[in-house]
């Protein structure tokens, strides 16, 4: 059963709103095991809309149209369905009375344009709207199903969940498969290297399929399986997931919704340690990421953003001679920042960053960023060379700092087994205060 | 000149990411006066992608494809363009050398799959990628232009702005009208109130057109004029801009690319004052926003993220009796945090935040956020009630804090003329330490 989605609205084509409806419906189609090969958007134009409906039914078994079923002049979806399906417009007297009563209960006279919502393509079933006045539409044609739902998410989603998805699953009958996705999150390898490492799986594995997604230095490996039941789909994924984990080792840091900040906070909780930050070039991005997690306060004590050099000196106790000897952008300063912040903040673990984020070089080439991690066991620092502009350098360094902290907290950095740590050496070099 | 957009990626069809690229490009097409009738999304499937390109060129003069030009096996856009346009794949030796050099400068060996990025449909111009390695593509065919850009926004947008839009505008030729947009940035009124305030301009003004955009509490008013020359378009905008500024007063804080953090930093430079932050619930977001601006170091000294209550006490000198009497989430504590941070950081001006970001209430209802501002003249605090989830509360409070600082620095908060301040009162209430 292949389903397409078609959003209607000139405001989408002008970029005034984002098409989050398509995303919401896409998630539900995937969960229901329904195939979804195309999404489209057209404006409030009856000819283009009718053509888009026909194009969709030329390649899919059903099309779900969002928007264009309200009461105003630019609500043209009903007319376009009539044109595309070759049916005439019918009028529901009973629904017109219902609309009049709805307005009258609110003590207001109904604008006559609202009667437009009592029109429907002949033969279409009306889907009740629990949150508004425009009913949804379901029309079975020789070319496939046409559904129309409101563009307002609160009105649309109950129709999708309560009516359209169950109907399509019944129609799909035989192959009512479930689609399950598993996202393995990794850090420490480039996207292209990950692609190479899994070229064989990508080529040969059809169920689950294997895909790669990159964001801010993290590479995600997505395994998507289709089966009759959720359990069967998970069973198909399990051996491939095990293989991915075997090949990537400690570079897999989490799965699905687990972000690196969640992983770090959970590890600290296990260890019974508290966390602090001492940031220069990242300017508070690390503490902002950490405190975005609800409940971070059980572990996170606070941070210091030491932007001016004399704050590193005054607040963080970085000795002048250290700065003179090694420079502010040095592993030595990153280590001292972390350790002194641990004192000042009363934190067991501190992540520190000093660096030159650009665009102009500060002491060292723009993009030279140094991460330090203080733990009760050790203090380490690592110099990173980040490509790109200031924004990218800061964002990637923030992600890298959280990952280096995780490795420090799981013993990979300085004490993990050689196998686990293999390949990660290039990121790490022990520093010292 | 009709342009279509086509996004590539199975993750879009599974609902794992939202197609914000389509929105970003749509805004730019509208601004450039280029018509945009269809948006589409297809998955990582070379046949469907090739067919979608042909469909697009069957009804438009150009198609802009986002995504699928990276180095991995599921990056199929180059192959699909070859198939759709009936051209063969060419190979750029020079670019391959450039890629090898890029990796070698970073001291790493290039995975051979990266050489895929040196492939290009024969005849296509390569668009330089200033933020990554995959070049964009521009291919002129008998059916129209095919452009391919990366899916990563930071890599994509410079290609759209710097290359593709200017090219399409030149191609549009004949009606070489210039489209000029002016964005007036405001803060302090709701979107619906701004809409009401300018309903007459929205209805009657056709050149420039008036549009409203909301983001994180700021409302932007976009004036877009079309004329034969840039000067003529600007002359059409000028009187409408003057009228917007007259009606909105001090709520207009900047125009075009001027963000609130730029405006605050420039004002501080004028005054010769330095800046610091003392954040609790926003956890570093304010300092991160400020330090995102290149050159912030001339004004910004540093910040303290006081997440645990005893850090507010220990590092920021907030007296125990104050916390006992008023609570941590109080205007009194916000004021003391700001003033003590000014001492600790040696800053003339400090922005402070304490609050309850949610989801669970902390002392006060979730969404109760308090902003303090210390200046050499005065210390003030303001209680805000922010709707939405934790992420939204923190983001909106960060924006609000920067705006309240701007008002404090321009004298509107406590000393501005009544006219200028009108309507802003609802945001403000002087506090005291």
- A214 to B113: CB separation less than 8 angstroms, yes or no: no
B197–chain A Cβ distance below 8 A for any pair: no
**CATH 3.90.950.20 residue window(s) in chain A:** 260-427
**Residue B24, both tokens:** 């970003």
Which residue among A279, A307, A387 sits closest to B297, beta carbon to beta carbon?
A: A307
Facing A38 at nearest CB: one of B41, B281, B394: B41
What mean pLDDT comes out for the span A223-239? Answer: 91
Using an 8 Å Cβ cutoff, are A338 and A373 in contact? Answer: yes
Q: A15: which chain B residues are within 8 Å (Cβ-Cβ)?
A: 22-30
Tell me which chain B residue has its CA closest to the CA of residue A45. B37
CB B312 within 8 A of CB B323: yes
- Hey, which residues 122-181 in chain A have their CB within 8 Å of chain B? 181
Q: What's domain B260-427's superfamily in CATH?
A: CinA-like (3.90.950.20)
B279: β partners = B305, B353
What span, in angstroms and rounded, lies between the C-alpha atoms of A52 and A58?
Answer: 10
d(CA A359, CA A369): 13
CA distance readout (Å), A225 to A39, A234, A239: 21, 7, 12
**pLDDT at position B321, please?**
87
The confidence score (pLDDT) of residue A114 equals 78
- Average pLDDT of every residue of chain B: 88
Q: Report chain A's mean pLDDT, rounded to a whole number.
A: 88
Contact A196 B111 (CB under 8 A): yes
Note the pLDDT tens digit of each residue in A23-45: 999 988 987 878 999 999 998 88
Please check the confidence at residue A413 and state whether its pLDDT lies above 60: no
Asked whether the beta carbons of B178 and B204 are under 8 A apart, the reply is: no
Q: Which of residues 315-344 of A touch B (CB under 8 A)?
A: 315, 344
Kindly provide the b/e burial profile for residues B162-196, where b requires at least 16 CB atoms within 10 angstroms of the residue's own CB: ebbbebbbeebeeeebbbbbbbbbbbbbeeeebbe
Give me the pLDDT at residue B432, please. Answer: 35
Among residues A309, A431, A307, the alpha carbon closest in space to that of A373 is found at A431
Q: Chain A neighbours among B 58-87 (CB < 8 Å)? A: 70-74
> Using DSSP, how many helices (H) and how many strands (E) does chain B show?
17, 17
**8 Å CB contact of B28 and A14:** no
Answer whether B104 touches A (CB < 8 Å): no
- pTM beyond 0.90: the answer is no
The per-residue pLDDT for range B247-306, each reduced to its tens digit, is: 999 899 999 889 999 999 999 999 999 999 999 999 999 999 999 999 999 999 999 999
Beta strands of A53-150 (E only): which ranges?
62-66, 89-91, 119-121, 125-127, 136-141, 144-149
Shortest CA distance from B130: residue in chain A? A388
Whole-number Å distance between alpha carbons of B338 and B326: 16
Residue B180 pairs in a beta bridge with B225
Residue in B closest to A312 by C-alpha: B302
CA A196 to mean position of chain CA atoms? 24
Q: Cα A91 vs. chain centroid, distance in angstroms?
A: 43
Asked if the Cβ–Cβ distance from A28 to B10 is below 8 Å, we say no
* Residue B242 CB burial class (10 angstroms; 0-12, 13-18, ≥19): exposed
Give the CA angle between residues B189, B194, B197 to the nearest 5°: 125
Distance CA A301, CA A175 (A): 53
* CATH number given to A178-255: 3.30.70.2860
In whole angstroms, give the CA distance from residue A322 to residue A372. Answer: 16
- Predicted confidence at residue A370, as pLDDT, reads 95
Listed by number, the residues of chain A in 290-309 with a beta carbon closer than 8 Å to a beta carbon of chain B are: 290-292, 294, 296-297, 300-308
Residue among A15, A194, A344 minimizing CB distance to B27: A15
Cα–Cα distance between B107 and B361 in angstroms, integer? Answer: 49
Give A149's contacts (C-beta < 8 A, 6+ positions apart).
Answer: A64, A65, A66, A69, A127, A136, A155, A156, A159, A160, A164
Q: Which of A352-361, A405-414, B343-352 has the highest mean pLDDT?
A: B343-352
Q: Which residue of B has its CA nearest to A368?
A: B106
A102: closest CA of chain B, how far (Å): 25
Distance CA A284, CA A369 (A): 15
Q: Return residues 222-241 of B near A (CB < 8 Å).
A: none
Helix-, strand-, coil-residue percentages of chain A, each rounded to 5 = 45, 25, 30
Give pLDDT, residue B433: 33
CB atoms A308 and B288 under 8 Å = no
pLDDT category at A73 given cuts 50, 70, 90 is low
Contact between B12 and A39 using a beta-carbon 8 Å cutoff? yes
**Does residue B279 belong to the interface with chain A, where contact is any CB pair within 8 Å?**
yes
d(CA A287, nearest CA chain B) in Å: 6
| Dihedral (Cα; A413, A415, A417, A421), 10-degree rounding | 10
Residues 401-430 in A contacting B (C-alpha not used; CB under 8 Å): 426
Residue B162 Cα to chain centre, angstroms? 18
Domain with CATH 3.30.70.2860 in chain A: 178-255
Residues B145 and B125: their CA atoms lie apart, in Å, by 11
Half-sphere exposure of residue A51, counting CA atoms within 13 Å on the CB side?
A: 13
pLDDT at B428 over 60: no
| Cβ-based contacts of A193 with chain B (< 8 Å) | 111
Q: Is the ipTM of this complex over 0.85?
A: no
* Strand pairing class (B252-255; B178-187): antiparallel
Short-list A171, A181, A185, CA closest to A230:
A181
Let me know: does B44 contact B54? Beta carbons within 8 Å.
no
8 A C-beta contact, residue A397 and residue A390: no
The class (CATH top level) of A3-175 is: alpha beta
Give the C-alpha separation, A157 to A159, whole Å: 5
Closest CA to B396 of B408, B406, B382, B386: B386
Task: Mean pLDDT check: name the lowest of A414-418, B327-331, B386-390.
Answer: A414-418
pLDDT at B174: 54
* Burial state string for B380-395 with b = 16 or more CB within 10 A and e = fewer than 16: bbbbbebeeebebbbb
Q: What is the DSSP string of B232-295?
A: HHHHHHHHHHHHHHHHHGGGEEEETT--HHHHHHHHHHHHT--EEEEESTTTTHHHHHHHTSTT
Residue of A nearest to B358 (CA): A294
For chain B, give percent helix, strand, coil, nearest 5.
45, 25, 30
Q: Using CB atoms, pick whichever of A277, A296, A302 lies closest to residue B306.
A: A302
Q: Are strands A38-42 and B38-42 parallel, antiparallel or unpaired?
A: antiparallel
* B40 CA: distance to closest CA in chain A (Å): 4
CATH 3.30.2090.10 for domain B3-172, yes or no, is no
β-strands A38-42, A3-8 pairing: parallel
Spell out which residues of chain B touch residue A211, defining contact as CB-CB under 8 Å: 10-11, 44, 74
Instruction: Tell me the two tokens of residue B203.
Output: 């209805």
What does the pLDDT read at residue A294? 92
Closest residue to B391, CB basis, from A277, A292, A345: A292
List the single residue in A with minimal CA-CA distance to B306.
A302
Spatial strand order in the sheet of B275-279: A379-385, A368-374, A349-355, A275-279, A300-306, B300-306, B275-279, B349-356, B368-374, B379-385
Residue B109 binned pLDDT confidence (cut-offs 50, 70, 90)? confident
Counting one residue from chain A and one from chain B, the pairs whose CB atoms sit within 8 A come to 271
Cβ neighbours of A181 in B, within 8 Å: 14, 16
Q: Quote the pLDDT of residue B251.
A: 92
Q: Compute φ and ψ for A150, nearest 5 degrees.
A: -65, 160
Residue B364, number of CB atoms within 10 A of its CB = 18
Please give the Cα distance from A129 to A163 (Å, whole number).
Answer: 11
Alpha-carbon dihedral A76, A77, A79, A81, rounded to 10 degrees = 160
d(CA A224, CA A213): 13
Q: Which residues of A touch B25 (CB under 8 A)?
A: 15
- For an interface test with B, the pick among A24, A31, A39 (most B C-beta atoms closer than 10 Å) comes out as A39
Residue B176: predicted pLDDT: 57
pLDDT of A416: 36
**Mutation choice for B interface testing from A284, A295, A395 by most B CBs within 10 A:** A284
With bands split at pLDDT 50, 70 and 90, how would you rate the model's confidence at A263? very high
> Token pair 């923190």 is at which residue?
B394
Within chain A, what is the greatest distance between any pair of CA atoms? 88
- B259 at A interface, C-beta within 8 A: no
């Amino acid at each position: 059963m292949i389903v397409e989605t078609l959003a209607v609205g000139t405001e989408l084509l002008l970029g005034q709103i984002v098409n989050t409806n398509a995303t919401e419906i896409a998630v539900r189609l995937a969960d229901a095991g329904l195939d979804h090969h195309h999404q489209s958007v057209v404006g409030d134009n009856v000819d283009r809309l009718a053509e888009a409906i026909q194009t969709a039914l030329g390649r899919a078994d059903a099309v779900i149209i969002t928007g264009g079923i309200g009461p105003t002049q630019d609500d043209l979806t009903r007319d376009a369905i009539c044109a595309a399906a070759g049916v005439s417009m019918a009028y529901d007297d009973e629904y017109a009375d219902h609309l009049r009563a709805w307005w009258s209960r609110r003590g207001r006279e109904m604008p006559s344009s609202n009667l437009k919502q009592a029109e429907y393509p002949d033969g279409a079933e009306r889907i009740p709207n629990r949150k508004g006045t425009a009913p949804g539409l379901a029309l079975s044609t020789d070319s496939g199903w046409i559904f129309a739902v409101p563009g307002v998410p609160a009105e649309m989603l109950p129709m999708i969940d309560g009516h359209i998805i169950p109907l399509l699953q019944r129609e799909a009958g035989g192959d009512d498969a479930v689609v399950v996705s598993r996202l393995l999150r990794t850090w420490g390898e480039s996207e292209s290297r990950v692609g190479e490492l899994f070229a064989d799986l990508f080529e040969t594995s059809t169920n689950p399929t294997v895909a790669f997604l990159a964001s801010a230095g993290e590479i995600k490996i997505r395994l998507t399986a289709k089966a009759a039941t959720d359990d069967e789909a998970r069973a198909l994924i399990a051996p491939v997931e095990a293989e991915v984990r075997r090949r990537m080792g400690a570079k897999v840091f989490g799965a699905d919704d687990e972000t690196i900040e969640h992983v770090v906070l959970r590890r600290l909780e296990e260890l019974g340690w508290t966390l602090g930050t001492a940031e220069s070039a990242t300017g508070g991005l690390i503490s902002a990421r950490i405190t975005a997690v609800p409940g971070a306060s059980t572990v996170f004590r606070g941070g210091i953003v030491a932007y001016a050099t004399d704050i590193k000196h005054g607040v963080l106790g970085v000795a002048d001679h250290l700065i003179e000897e090694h420079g502010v952008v040095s592993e030595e300063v990153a280590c001292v920042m972390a350790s002194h912040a641990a004192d000042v903040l009363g934190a067991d673990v501190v992540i520190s960053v000093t660096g030159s984020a650009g665009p102009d070089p500060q002491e060292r080439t723009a993009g030279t960023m140094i991460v330090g991690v203080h733990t009760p066991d050790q203090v380490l620092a690592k110099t990173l060379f980040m490509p790109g502009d200031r924004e990218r350098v800061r964002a990637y360094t923030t992600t890298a700092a959280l990952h280096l902290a995780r490795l420090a907290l799981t013993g990979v950095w300085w004490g993990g087994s050689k196998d686990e740590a293999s390949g990660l050496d290039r990121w790490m070099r022990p520093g010292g205060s």
